[in-house]
Structure 1
Amino acid sequence: MHPLGRSPAGDRLAIPGCGHSAVGQGPGGALAGRGGPLIPLASHAPDALVPEAPRTALRIALLGARGIPASYGGFETFAEQLATRLAARGHEVTVYAECGDQPVADTVYQGVRVRSRRRPRWGAASVLAYDSACLWDARRGYDLVYMLGYGAAWACWWPRVFGVPVWINVDGLEWARSKWGWGARTYLRCMEWVASKVATRLIADAEAIALRFRQTYPGGAPSSFIAYGAELVQADQADPSLLAAWGLQAHRYMLVVARPEPENHILEIVQGHVLHGGDWPLVVVGDVSGGTAYQQQLKALASDRVRFVGGIYDAAQLNSLRVHAACYLHGHSVGGTNPSLLEALACGNWVVAHDNPYNREVARDAAEYFSTPQQLAQSLDRVVMEGTALQPQRARRARDIVAKHYTWEGITDAYEALMRAQCQPRTPARATTP
């Protein structure tokens, strides 16, 4: 039985048949005391009989992504991986997708219905309008609505009014991101509170985030931890010839894959690389073509040793860059299990990550950690001096963490078990005396 999480008040659900996965696993191992099984069946009277729930198909809607197949973003990858696997297990899964002004008929992708809804051109508010339209469309006809993100949490009432449970994936501390102005931050902080009130259940992909919601909103919806996933990439699966496009040599460059935002600490990473002073270039994958002050500051530091190569969305190219890097530098700090960090571990990277609870929860002892450019420079010195000798051991440890805690099949096992517990509650039947 898996520790999938619990509400602050300790309400529990029985989770039958849930196999090994990352659910409820933090940096300290299995969470016997960090979420616990939900309503252990043994807690019923000894003469209670618990019949096996019928394994019927669930009707599940996933909202909040741009659509599938994924071409951009963590939510899109998550929606594709989870939806297609649930569909392969016999469930009726719908993923909502964006479209332009012209209506688009429903399509099917690997057994998943893709239902398109218009996203208006209203700037930042267009996402809220799109999410709200999807929630209105999904207000009935499903056993469960799963909303990715809480920006339109107020509209999650609509399915609830029609008796449909709504889960909300809280996606870290969205309101804390530096890209938002004062008004947007205030709105998102308010929506975080609304999500805690309107959701049937909150889902966090990091135990530290789930714990924060339990502590911040003790009377709110129950919070469960189910991790994000990644696919293992072995060295022989990544083509080193692709490096020629950027003039790179295998294992003689450092890599960053991140959006150019202050909370991702790219500036500090560049400063640490400069202090390190080595010859191996720093390669930054991320779109810096915008006009923000932070992006301008980063571009001013570009040189032969600090190379901004733009956004790369081709999986083969990214895998080649990751697998053949001397190390992967990870500066993300605003909560949650970051997909880029998981993908670096899955590629066997020597990881040097910003020191915060979220990164430590994921990378554990497979990473070094830094808080200042000076600390990062010291780690880079070690990479250059000891990389050849230690890389095989570090690669094995990184991939072991993903294989044990973060496989997509394991994540799907956990979601399916919790979804069945939500939608098909098992009622104990009293034993009859002959």
Structure 2
Amino acid sequence: MKIAFVGTRGIPADYGGTETYVDRLTQNLAERGDQVVVYCKKSASPAEKREKDALYPENVTRVEIPSIATKHLDNLTRSFFSTLHVCLDRDVQVVQFNNVGPAFFSFLPRLFGKKVVGAIRAIDSQREKWNPLAKAFLRFCEFVTLRVPHIATVNSHAMKEYYLEKYGKETIYIPNGAIIPTDSFEPDFIKSFSLSRKGYVLFAARLEPEKGCHTLIEAFQKAVAETGSDLKLAIAGHKGFSPEYYAGLRVHESDNIKFLGYVDGQKDLAELFDNAYAFVLPSSVEGMSNSLLTAMAYAVPSVVSDIPENVALFDGAPVDDTLNDHPGLSFRLEDAEDLSRKLAYLFTNPQEAAHRGALLKAHVTRNYSMETMCDNTRRIYAELVGES
């Protein structure tokens, strides 16, 4: 098959969870012999483009598309020009639009006889960064994504229920998959930030309001003051299109609160997760977080806000007799005091923290296989084009 992905900043993943999902899916499809086209943002130079292209086999094509690089128009304009391009590629059989905004243009490939999939990765209309007009547009795009593509997929049960209740439309649930690590990574990259093995709490997400980093910083400072812990807070992530919010976070930078920026490269990311003492996801809007799955796969004890999309990743994890509880921890959304209590517990109970992490890894290994995610996704593509 020849499959095209529209609606992300492209591969290699250098921004967020949707890009990570597309990157992993692209590599898996390529290994199976499919041809894959991924529409990407423009590189800074021809040399950078060649470097990125060289990371992928010959059956993966990165097509760099220009855009109007503003908060509201960047992804939308890139998606529009990407859609025009893919309509003219006669060999592309399946076009997947990632998230609802790009799917506004999904009618065009259908007019050209292509099979179309809408992959919804989060309820974008709930993100705090959007103004009322943008949120209204995204709600309209939700309607389009559920009506125009041949199939719509979601990565959480909460989203599946949301779209069924609001629009009366069924979607296909395909959870994200995790790569289960088999190696340990000694501190190397993290030393440049004065971080040590099991010496820091990790936040890894875009630095935008709905990701809740401000809540974590407040809670972390309270937990450290209460326990006297010497753990640090490592904040890794792209600053996105919220410069004022990002600037407000950076005023808290100190010897024990480190801003790492966006961490690129599989080895550096692996080292960052493998050496973390704990992981926190305090977000108010998610689909299924790849960062959370990764932390769990690395046996990192994890604390999440209690939105359904986050706590669902802990569902099915066994209640452990020694803990008398599930291994995952949650706190009330935007409640820094509650999060502080959870962090203080982890800071003062290192053996229990490590035990929780080990149980989470076993849970992810059993229930969130990368191979299963790719199998289920490709099966949808094959059914649409009539392959056995």
Matched residue, 2:222: 275
Does structure 1 retain, via aligned residues, the 8 Å contact 2:125–2:135? yes
Give the match's secondary structure for 2:196: coil
Does structure 1 retain, via aligned residues, the 8 Å contact 2:287–2:309? yes
Instruction: State the aligned residue count.
Output: 365
Matched residue, 1:159: 109
Higher helix share: 2
- AA aligned to 2:2 is R
Matched residue, 2:369: 407
Residue 136 (structure 1) shift: 2.2
Matched residue, 1:60: 3
Counterpart-to-counterpart distance in 1, 2:237 and 2:30: 33
**Are 1:317 and 2:236 matched, yes or no?**
no
Residue 271 (structure 1) shift: 1.4
67, 82, 90: which one aligns with 1:134: 82
**Are 1:80 and 2:23 matched, yes or no?**
yes
Matched residue, 1:10: none
331, 339, 347: which one aligns with 1:370: 331
Counterpart-to-counterpart distance in 2, 1:424 and 1:150: 26
**What pairs up with 1:346-357 in 2 under 5 angstroms?**
346-357=297-308
Mean alpha-carbon deviation: is it higher for 131-140 or for 321-330?
A: 131-140
Counterpart-to-counterpart distance in 2, 1:241 and 1:168: 40
Does structure 2 retain, via aligned residues, the 8 Å contact 1:60–1:146? yes
Mean alpha-carbon deviation: is it higher for 91-100 or for 174-183?
A: 91-100
Matched residue, 2:360: 398
Residue 198 (structure 1) shift: 1.0
- Cα displacement string for residues 40-67 of structure 1 (whole angstroms, at most 9, x for unaligned residues): xxxxxxxxxxxxxxxxxx2322222333
Q: Which has the higher contact order (CA 8 A, sep 6+)?
A: 1
**What pairs up with 1:15-414 in 2 under 5 angstroms?**
58-99=1-42, 109-121=56-68, 123=70, 124-139=72-87, 140-218=90-168, 220=169, 222-234=170-182, 236-276=183-223, 277=225, 278-279=228-229, 280-287=231-238, 292-364=243-315, 365-371=326-332, 372-387=335-350, 389-414=351-376
Change in CA separation of 1:390 and 1:111 when aligned onto 2, cut-off 3 Å: farther
Matched residue, 1:22: none
TM-score (normalizing by structure 2): 0.85
Counterpart-to-counterpart distance in 1, 2:160 and 2:286: 10
Change in CA separation of 1:224 and 1:305 when aligned onto 2, cut-off 3 Å: same
Counterpart-to-counterpart distance in 1, 2:184 and 2:302: 20
Residue 308 (structure 1) shift: 2.5
Counterpart-to-counterpart distance in 1, 2:123 and 2:76: 17
Change in CA separation of 1:99 and 1:245 when aligned onto 2, cut-off 3 Å: closer
Counterpart-to-counterpart distance in 2, 1:306 and 1:59: 46
Residue 407 (structure 1) shift: 2.2
Counterpart-to-counterpart distance in 1, 2:256 and 2:122: 33
- AA aligned to 2:28 is R
- Cα displacement string for residues 56-86 of structure 1 (whole angstroms, at most 9, x for unaligned residues): xx23222223333334432332222212222
Counterpart-to-counterpart distance in 2, 1:284 and 1:98: 25
Give the match's secondary structure for 1:80: helix
Residue 384 (structure 1) shift: 2.0
Counterpart-to-counterpart distance in 2, 1:127 and 1:84: 23
Counterpart-to-counterpart distance in 2, 1:97 and 1:306: 33
TM-score (normalizing by structure 1): 0.77
- AA aligned to 1:146 is Q
Matched residue, 2:321: none
Give the match's secondary structure for 1:60: strand
Change in CA separation of 1:250 and 1:291 when aligned onto 2, cut-off 3 Å: same
Counterpart-to-counterpart distance in 2, 1:320 and 1:170: 30
Counterpart-to-counterpart distance in 2, 1:356 and 1:323: 25
- Cα displacement string for residues 217-265 of structure 1 (whole angstroms, at most 9, x for unaligned residues): 11x4x4111112221224x421224432122232232221122222112
Change in CA separation of 1:181 and 1:419 when aligned onto 2, cut-off 3 Å: same
Change in CA separation of 1:112 and 1:366 when aligned onto 2, cut-off 3 Å: farther
Mean alpha-carbon deviation: is it higher for 241-250 or for 334-343?
A: 241-250
Change in CA separation of 1:240 and 1:113 when aligned onto 2, cut-off 3 Å: closer
- AA aligned to 2:196 is Q
Does structure 2 retain, via aligned residues, the 8 Å contact 1:136–1:155? no
Counterpart-to-counterpart distance in 1, 2:344 and 2:41: 46
> What is the CA RMSD across the aligned residues, in angstroms?
2.7
Residue 320 (structure 1) shift: 2.1
Counterpart-to-counterpart distance in 2, 1:409 and 1:425: 19
Counterpart-to-counterpart distance in 2, 1:110 and 1:128: 28
Change in CA separation of 1:165 and 1:347 when aligned onto 2, cut-off 3 Å: same
Does structure 2 retain, via aligned residues, the 8 Å contact 1:66–1:98? yes
Counterpart-to-counterpart distance in 2, 1:383 and 1:118: 46
- AA aligned to 1:368 is L
Change in CA separation of 1:311 and 1:115 when aligned onto 2, cut-off 3 Å: closer
- AA aligned to 1:131 is S
Counterpart-to-counterpart distance in 2, 1:238 and 1:377: 29
Does structure 1 retain, via aligned residues, the 8 Å contact 2:18–2:121? no
Gaps in structure 1 of 5+ consecutive residues: 1-57, 427-434
